[in-house]
Amino acid sequence: MYTETVMDHFRNPRNVGHMENADGVGQVGNVKCGDIMKIYLKINDEIIEDVKFETFGCGSAIASSSMATELIKGKSIDEAVELSNKAVIEALGGLPPVKVHCSVLAEQAIKSALYDYAQKTNKTIKGLENFNPEDEEEFGCH
Ligand code: FES
């Protein structure tokens, strides 16, 4: 049911933990399953220098957070904002259809952290103009 990569990222998640003085913090929750994901970003010169996550959720949410953080580490803000849940699923080698929303949570948590960074630094990030961190519809189980 789960790929080796999913199991690996679930058992040995990368970039787990809390970050002091993060430049951007994003937290999203799925109203239906109750899972919560928090992403911390350290940004320097528009580059994601470091990223950490704390996820209270299912195995797929943990694997998705782990993979998503790996995919944006060292990347530019513009690249990070474009990370889609599809790219996370692809990198994981697939997720069962009922678990797709877990990867959406990872995409949204990153966007939310980037949005927080933009708010704090008074910047506009292309692709986040219409982002609304309060929009729970986005995070519903599909
Ligand atoms: Fe809710 Fe996976 S079941 S995030």
- Residue 141 bears catalytic tag: no
Q: Which atom of ligand 1 is nearest to the CA of 105?
A: 4
The pTM of this model reads 0.93
Q: What is the CATH number of domain 4-125?
A: 3.90.1010.10
User: Is residue 141 pLDDT above 90, yes or no?
Assistant: no
The pLDDT tens digits of the residues spanning 40-64 come to 999 999 999 999 999 999 999 999 9
CB neighbourhood size of 125 (10 A): 19
DSSP single-letter state for residue 141? -
What are the residue ranges spanned by the domains of the chain?
A: 4-125
- pLDDT for 68 equals 98
Q: What is the pLDDT of residues 5-39, one digit of tens each?
A: 999 999 999 999 999 999 999 999 988 899 999 99
Q: What is the pLDDT of residue 41?
A: 98
Q: In this predicted model, what pLDDT tens digit does every residue of 62-82 receive, in sequence order? A: 999 999 999 999 999 999 999
Asked if 16 and 29 touch (Cβ cutoff 8 Å), the reply is no
Q: Active site includes 102?
A: yes
CA 57 to centroid of ligand 1, rounded, Å: 6
CA of 121 to the centre of ligand 1 (A): 32
Q: Two tokens at 56? A: 């209270």
